Amino acid sequence: MANLFYFPVPITIDFYYLRPLYYILAMSVQTGAAKADTNNNAGKIVMGGIRPTGFLHLGNYFGAIRNYIKLQNEFECYFMIADLHSLTTHPDTKELKSNVQRVLAEHLASGLDPDKAAIYCQSHIKETNELYLILNMLAYKGELEKTVTFKEKVRLQPDNANAGLLTYPVLQTADILLHRASYVPVGKDQEQHLEMARTFANRFNYRYGDIFPEPGAFNFNQKLVKVPSLDGTGKMSKSENQMATLYLSDDDDSIRKKVKKAKTDSGAQEAGAGKSEFIENLFLLMSLVSKDEVIQKYEQDFNNGTIRYGDMKEQLGNDMVSFIAPIRQKTIDILENKKYLQEVMEKGAEKARKSAAATMELVRESMGLNYF
């Protein structure tokens, strides 16, 4: 019988019977919220990923890319196009090539610098598969089935509730831990996945030795961002509610039309009334792209009960156009230079492979997978 109070747990222990206890111990290491601890930035590594399932939108930009751009100047950064993850929901690969190229171009057009950050494609790093497999032994069916995104995806595609969907957070954890990353710039929708990544990292460390830093969702100590859809139902997304999502590729006319159709309520409320969710959303979008004085003016109008939502949406439409149009144009230009895109991707993969190989050596050693 294993001694429960002996620490670390002896190798001969039967983990199956001790699993509940082990689970509690591993969970207790994971205290606090799933945010990254940003007290000490020295040597911290950053990792982020976006699926090439369609055109990038404002949510991708403000949830992830905006922070990528800031972080690339200060940290060792790995930014990945998650092509394998995209297969969980988009098994047809006909458009994958053009989507990957576009998403890469959109990253670059938004301001990512391949000389600073490694920008690469998930399937180019074979070590991902090995770590994913190992981490799968540390992830339990019950907890995976409870993941909100899994339940939601199964609801949306009941005929394709594949194992990749179930283990999506495990693959994501492998992507992060491969670079031993601590900071993961993501939007609010990824909060639970990052919590799971911490749990899996802690479990690995507890069982095999302390080699992974705790990864956490990162937004410079601010709340994680959720860019709402324009129709007031949920968030902007690549493939759902396209008319209520602003894409980085939208032309000026479409941007203005979409913003004009954004849900508001009937009109100005009495002075001092609270904002409804639709109006909160409109102000949130304005806070992302408009100048401070513009935001202040509309805040004041709202507080005085004199706001005209038509005017506000016209202003917001114009500010969105000013924000999106240069990225759209730059993307078109970059997409013409396929040789450049290929070079960026190869250079990124080379850097990411080096980091992944070093981590896997540590992993194998700490697990005792080296036999002679």
For the annotated catalytic residues, the residue numbers are: 153, 235, 238
Q: Which is nearer to ligand AMP, 237 or 359 (CB)?
A: 237
Output the smallest distance, CB 22 to ligand AMP, in A: 31
Is residue 80 involved in binding ligand AMP (CB under 6 A)? no
Distance, in Å, from the CA atom of 151 to the CA atom of 101, rounded to the nearest integer, reads: 30
Is residue 352 involved in binding ligand AMP (CB under 6 A)? no
Q: Which residue stretch of 92-100, 132-140, 234-242, 276-284 sits at the interface with ligand AMP (rule: CB under 6 A)?
A: 234-242
93 φ/ψ angles, rounded to the nearest 5 degrees: -100, 10
Output the smallest distance, CB 43 to ligand AMP, in A: 23
Contact yes or no for 46/71 (Cβ under 8 A): yes
Is residue 186 involved in binding ligand AMP (CB under 6 A)? yes
Phi-psi region of 43 (alpha: psi -120 to 50; beta: other; left: phi over 0): left
Using DSSP, state whether 26 is helix, strand or coil: helix
Distance, in Å, from the CA atom of 107 to the CA atom of 185, rounded to the nearest integer, reads: 14
Instruction: Figure out which of the listed residues 36, 60, 88, 351 binds ligand AMP, where binding follows CB under 6 A.
Output: 60
- Which residues 190-209 are close enough to bind ligand AMP by CB under 6 A? 190
Output the smallest distance, CB 28 to ligand AMP, in A: 27
- Which residues 16-55 are close enough to bind ligand AMP by CB under 6 A? 50-51
Contact yes or no for 26/202 (Cβ under 8 A): yes
Q: Which residue stretch of 56-64, 98-106, 114-122, 360-368 sits at the interface with ligand AMP (rule: CB under 6 A)?
A: 56-64
Number of alpha carbons in the 13 Å side-chain half-sphere of residue 96: 18
Is residue 125 involved in binding ligand AMP (CB under 6 A)? no
Instruction: Figure out which of the listed residues 166, 196, 225, 289 binds ligand AMP, where binding follows CB under 6 A.
Output: 225
Q: Which is nearer to ligand AMP, 170 or 360 (CB)?
A: 170
Is residue 236 involved in binding ligand AMP (CB under 6 A)? yes
Sheet strands side by side (includes 118-121): 118-121, 76-81, 45-50, 183-185, 216-218
- Bridge-partner residues for 247, per DSSP? 57
Is residue 275 involved in binding ligand AMP (CB under 6 A)? no
Q: Which residue stretch of 230-238, 259-267, 328-336, 340-348 sits at the interface with ligand AMP (rule: CB under 6 A)?
A: 230-238
Q: Which is nearer to ligand AMP, 73 or 233 (CB)?
A: 233
Contact yes or no for 181/47 (Cβ under 8 A): yes
Is residue 77 involved in binding ligand AMP (CB under 6 A)? no
74: amino acid identity, one letter: E
Among the residues of 58-190, which ranges form H helices?
Answer: 58-60, 66-71, 83-86, 96-110, 127-136, 141-145, 148-156, 163-166, 168-177
Q: To which H or E segment does residue 81 belong? A: strand 76-81
Number of alpha carbons in the 13 Å side-chain half-sphere of residue 365: 8
Is residue 64 involved in binding ligand AMP (CB under 6 A)? yes
Q: Which two tokens stand for residue 334?
A: 């970059």
Q: Which is nearer to ligand AMP, 26 or 36 (CB)?
A: 36
Is residue 182 involved in binding ligand AMP (CB under 6 A)? no
Is residue 316 involved in binding ligand AMP (CB under 6 A)? no
Is residue 215 involved in binding ligand AMP (CB under 6 A)? no
Contact yes or no for 285/61 (Cβ under 8 A): no
Is residue 238 involved in binding ligand AMP (CB under 6 A)? yes
Looking up tokens 């030795």, which residue turns up? 209
Q: Which is nearer to ligand AMP, 62 or 212 (CB)?
A: 62
Contacting residues toward ligand AMP, per CB under 6 A = 50-51, 59-60, 62-64, 186-187, 189-190, 225-227, 235-238
